[in-house]
Amino acid sequence: MAEVKNKNLWVFVETDEKGEAKSVGLELLTVGRGLADKQGGALVGIVIGSKVDAAVAAAAEYGADEVITVDAPAFAHYSTDAYAKALCTLVDKYGPTTILIGATNNGRDLGPRVSCRLQTGLTADCTALDVDEESGNMAWTRPAFGGNLMATILCPDHRPQMGTVRPGVFKKGERQVGRTCKVTAETVEIAPEEIRTELLEVINEVAGELVDLENAEIIVSGGRGVGGPEGFAPVRALAEALGATVGASRAAVDSGWISHAHQVGQTGKTVGPKLYIACGISGAIQHLAGMSSSKVIVAINKDPDAPIFNVADYGVVGDLHVVLPILTEKIKKAKGLA
């Protein structure tokens, strides 16, 4: 366990290939501001990468009191070994009380490696963060059992207390353009043999397969209730009529009816469109965690007791295979007349 030297809250601001901050780090700085104030410490952005000036500037503009950087070519591409060493070195030196990490694929790779090395607790995929009034510990709230239950977790006797948060769970605040803060540059030496994995090839998704759920204004999603791969036809037809993106629940993805790129929920994408239409989705909280911040939620489900109705603004009890084609026709007609 690392020695605590202050009450500071750290946000790991992950960078992309261009050295820019990924959105989730800025979301965490936004929510971290209030938490750092409650803990009585500073809000510190941690930026590891290569040529990361843009990410450092963004961290300052999203409210960091201080940014600590490790900026060297060895960190240009994410590797578990280099990033874990860098983050642990910084923790040993500065001793923060809390660390937030975005639950991207890399964040979920790095978090447990670091928490284990530091022999401390890590709470994964939190959907709510607070400071426990009695003890002053962070109160990490996350779904469990496929999202059927929420649990609030404390890490009372070990520091730093660590947690990961999915992208999109919290919203970015206003960017305070031109705001600057103290920047401390640290050096962490990495010998080539310390990085034990070798990146051989990067295969980015070809444009046609990219499903941009996170920026979609309208999403029409299908779940187990669509009944099979061909059951997605009415879902796609409605999406097309609305100019919407097609989403899916884990049940539909795990059944192989649609690709993982469409998945909304705890193990998929977190979304917040203006309109979310859930078709044949029962609404395990796991799915709800990924879409409940949508502005308007419409649910269509045969089961009147489906939990999706608990979050729906408009809940239709009925067969999606009957309801969707009628709704699609009416929308097409209305648009044709307009």
Partner 1 sequence: MKNILVCIKQVPDTTEIRIDPVKKTLIRDGVPSIVNPFDTYALELAARIKDKEPDTKITLICMGPPQAEAALKECLAVGGDKAYLVSGREFGGSDTLATSYILSCAVQKVRELEGDFDIIFCGKQAIDGDTAQVGPEMAEHLGLPQITYVVEATAEEDRLVVKKETDEGFEMVGVKYPCLITVTKPSFEPRFPTIKAKLAANRAKVNVLGAGDLDIDLSRAGLKGSPTKVKKTFTPEVKTTGVKIHEETDEASAEKLFAELSDNKII
Is the Cβ–Cβ distance between 282 and 303 less than 8 Å? yes
To partner 1, the closest distance from the beta carbon of 182 in angstroms equals 30
What is the distance between the alpha carbons of residues 164 and 126, in angstroms, rounded to a whole number? 6
Our CB check for partner 1 shows the closer of 73 and 156 to be 156
To partner 1, the closest distance from the beta carbon of 268 in angstroms equals 11
Our CB check for partner 1 shows the closer of 59 and 122 to be 122
To partner 1, the closest distance from the beta carbon of 120 in angstroms equals 6
Residue among 16, 15, 44 at smallest CA distance from 29: 44
Our CB check for partner 1 shows the closer of 42 and 288 to be 288
What is the distance between the alpha carbons of residues 272 and 168, in angstroms, rounded to a whole number? 8
- CA distances to 39, 46, 145, 213 from 256, in Å: 45, 39, 22, 19
User: Apex CA 93: angle with CA 87 and CA 94, to 5°?
Assistant: 90
Our CB check for partner 1 shows the closer of 36 and 139 to be 139
To partner 1, the closest distance from the beta carbon of 53 in angstroms equals 22
Our CB check for partner 1 shows the closer of 63 and 280 to be 280
Our CB check for partner 1 shows the closer of 65 and 109 to be 109
To partner 1, the closest distance from the beta carbon of 177 in angstroms equals 27
Residue among 26, 20, 90, 89 at smallest CA distance from 49: 20
For helices 232-242 and 320-337, give the axis angle rounded to 10 degrees.
20
Residues sharing a CB contact under 8 Å with residue 266, sequence separation 6 or more, in sequence order: 125, 143, 147, 166, 286, 287, 289, 290
Residue among 208, 290, 273 at smallest CA distance from 239: 273
Our CB check for partner 1 shows the closer of 119 and 174 to be 119
To partner 1, the closest distance from the beta carbon of 183 in angstroms equals 26
* Token couple for 64: 């960091």
To partner 1, the closest distance from the beta carbon of 181 in angstroms equals 27
Residue among 158, 164, 138, 178 at smallest CA distance from 38: 138
Residue 100: what residue type?
L
Instruction: Read off φ and ψ for residue 25, nearest 5 degrees.
Output: -65, -35
To partner 1, the closest distance from the beta carbon of 37 in angstroms equals 22
